Amino acid sequence: MIVGERKPVESILAMLAPHGKVLLAGCGTCVTVCLAGGEKEVGVLAAALRLARQAEGKPLEVVEATIERQCEHEFVEELAAKLAGAEAILSLGCGAGVQTIAERYADLPVYPGLNTSFIGIPVKHGDWAERCAACGDCILDSTGGICPIARCSKSLLNGPCGGSAEGKCEVSEDTDCAWQLIFDRLKAQRRLELLAEVRPPKDWSRHRDGGPRRIVREDAAL
């Protein structure tokens, strides 16, 4: 899933300073699961914004609306019914959600209430970790199902650097060394020979480096 983190209330208040009424839009998919931008978080943030603006003597009217997915136009359409009088939209969706809303309601300022962090998983309650860098050229078949692009601090392709110590990355002792994990798993699977291969430079043109990406499939077109 896409994992995000809400911006500090102060930053959001600064963005909304010129406005008297806003629509606060939540998203029912990834950011609901990672407890950053679902219906519940919309309610909490709306209350905090109202209180803060009340205290400033400049009340803010906040209309709450959480839709199934902000990254699809058909769901974003539902917001139209709640927009009467709103001067702006504050989205608690990921970057794709914010932009879909901004595209549909191009006359209004649309603000991001989250920082979109990464594609990852909850490793335990309240702890999410990155797993995929969307590099466009998956190599998990040869790395024991552990991604060095997303999980090695240097995205190395040929094994751990000299900073791997006791299973941890040199960058942070809270971060597992991805290559130690890969080594351990391939060793357990008796497939260490995969690590002996010198992997050539990666084709980064399929990552963001190649420019904005797009997939067009005729078989899926209407």
* Residues within the interface to another protein (CB under 8 A): 153-168, 170-171, 177, 179-180, 183-184, 187, 192, 195-196, 198-202, 204
Rounded distance, CA 41 to CA 61, Å? 17
Residue among 63, 81, 70, 74 nearest 36 (CA): 70
SS3 percent helix, strand, coil of the chain, rounded to 5, is: 35, 20, 45
Exposure class string for 113-132: b at 16+ Cβ within 10 A, else e: bbebebbbeeeeeeebbebe
Residue among 136, 118, 137 nearest 128 (CA): 118
Nearer to another protein, 90 or 178 (CB): 178
| Least distance between another protein and beta carbon 36 (Å) | 23
| Least distance between another protein and beta carbon 214 (Å) | 23
Nearer to another protein, 110 or 195 (CB): 195
Nearer to another protein, 200 or 211 (CB): 200
| Least distance between another protein and beta carbon 6 (Å) | 21
| Least distance between another protein and beta carbon 131 (Å) | 19
Nearer to another protein, 17 or 134 (CB): 134
